[in-house]
Structure 1
Amino acid sequence: MLGLDLTFFNWDIFSKFVLSGLRFSVQLTLVATAGGILLGTLLALMRLSGKKALMLPATIYVNGMRSIPLVMVILWFFLLVPLLIGRPMGAELSATITFVAFEAAYFSEIMRAGIQSIPRGQVHAGQAMGMSYGQNMRYVVLPQAFRNMLPVLLTQTIILFQDTSLVYAIGAYDMLKGFTTAGKIYGRPEEAYLLAAVVYFVICFALSWLVKRLQAKIAIVR
């Protein structure tokens, strides 16, 4: 069929070349999501603080990161940061730092929208009880914002997983690199990229379906 060698599609290829790359892709996704949400929440709070000294640097960071292609940021961290610190970081560490820093800008906007979706009356009620800005955010606003934004945060995580394929540009061994390596060794690049597309589709489609189910469940609870 179309000159494809269907014997290439077997578990042996996946276990030898792809599984370790998939493990790194998932690990990078989880670390970048956790770090991005933490840093993104901090950036969102800075932008909503009403203090220019906090708002300005956070706004510059978020808008700056969102205006630059991810692959360029990956190359910057991989090529320029070692020159500044005087030693190489390695592709995996460089990719992890890059993704946390980059995704924080996107998670920041999600969190900012989530925080702003909370009725102001609840914020004023917290203030009336004597809560500080930090306490109000911690106990009243952020728990509700996280719940409201959970489907969007998970959707961004799926996009993040897809973007991990870009670390191939700096030689990190992710899932796409595993498929590419198998294709080169066996001389079947067409089959390798076709199989990679199928695997990415199955994983992302399954995750998207779960997010839709979660979104529907949250809507019912409301």
Structure 2
Amino acid sequence: MSGIDFSVVWQAAPYLWAGLTFTLSLTVAAFLIGISVGTLLAIAQHLQVPVLAPLARIYVAVMRSIPLIMVLFWFFFLMPVVVGYVTGSPRPVPVGAHATAYITFGLFEAAYYCEIIRAGLRAVPRGQYEACRAMSMSPFLTYRLVILPQVLRAVGPIVLNQTIVLFQDTSLVYVLSLTDLLGAAAKMAQINGRLVEMYLAAALIYLVISTLASQIVTMLKRRSWR
């Protein structure tokens, strides 16, 4: 331990900050995409919409059965071929590593958020749906004004827990040669030869952010129990 020099961490701070910024932006974007798509999938299943409900179930089952890293590979290598075929291009149309990361993480997390929201929808008493129908409220207004606010409040802690997992999973973007927080630490470790210091710094940042988010989860749980 006497040979450890944490001054290199301070020197690498701008690079680590850039990696952390990308990690957080990817987390936020994937959360917004995932919660939006996941909510639509959950409502489609809850309403038993013809065609859409079975497709939503298949989508969720497939996404939850495949490792995220495999989905990243598939999207990155196969989507250019699909886009080229659809647009009539004679050669594959590159999607780009950044677009692949944002879209793939969002669509992958949508399957998990869907199951969380669906569980919340099933927990709402049937009387509330019947009351909305008695007031001649459309299904759109029923879910937007009455049902979803209750569901999101009830499942908020679980959604945040899944988002913490999402934040940690963003390190998988290394397969796309993107530089997130862990990737920045790894590259700086290769440059300055200080693997221990750089990886400890990255681990500490992950620990602090995840711990703070976990404390928020605890606060939300306490509030929901009151």
Q: Is the 8 A contact 1:180 1:193 kept in 2?
A: yes
1:191 aligns with 2:197: yes
Matching residue of 1:84 = 82
Q: TM-score, normalised by structure 2?
A: 0.91
Paired with 2:211 and 2:8, the residues of 1 have a C-alpha distance of 20
Matching residue of 2:153 = 147
Matching residue of 2:4 = 5
1:181 aligns with 2:202: no
Q: Is the 8 A contact 1:179 1:192 kept in 2?
A: yes
Q: How does 1:152-167 map to 2 (within 5 A)?
A: 152-167=158-173
Q: Is the 8 A contact 2:38 2:114 kept in 1?
A: yes
Q: TM-score, normalised by structure 1?
A: 0.93
Matching residue of 1:30 = 28
Q: Is the 8 A contact 1:4 1:191 kept in 2?
A: no
Matching residue of 1:39 = 37
Q: Is the 8 A contact 1:74 1:94 kept in 2?
A: yes
Tell me the percent identity.
44
The alpha carbon displacement at 1:100 in A equals: 0.8
The alpha carbon displacement at 1:187 in A equals: 1.2
The alpha carbon displacement at 1:63 in A equals: 0.6
Matching residue of 1:203 = 209
* Counterpart code for 2:77: L
May I ask how many residue pairs the two structures share in their alignment?
Answer: 218
The alpha carbon displacement at 1:66 in A equals: 0.4
Change (3 A) 1:100 1:197: same
Matching residue of 1:56 = 54
Paired with 1:161 and 1:67, the residues of 2 have a C-alpha distance of 20
Paired with 2:7 and 2:65, the residues of 1 have a C-alpha distance of 40
Q: What CA deviation, in whole Å up to 9, does each residue of 1:134-178 have, x standing for no partner? A: 222122111111111111111111111001000111111111110
Q: Is the 8 A contact 2:23 2:181 kept in 1?
A: yes
Matching residue of 1:135 = 141
* Counterpart code for 1:21: G
* Counterpart code for 1:57: L
Paired with 2:38 and 2:71, the residues of 1 have a C-alpha distance of 17
Matching residue of 2:18 = 20
Matching residue of 1:67 = 65
Matching residue of 1:124 = 130
* Counterpart code for 2:46: L
* Counterpart code for 2:192: Y
- SS of aligned partner of 1:80: helix
The alpha carbon displacement at 1:102 in A equals: 0.3
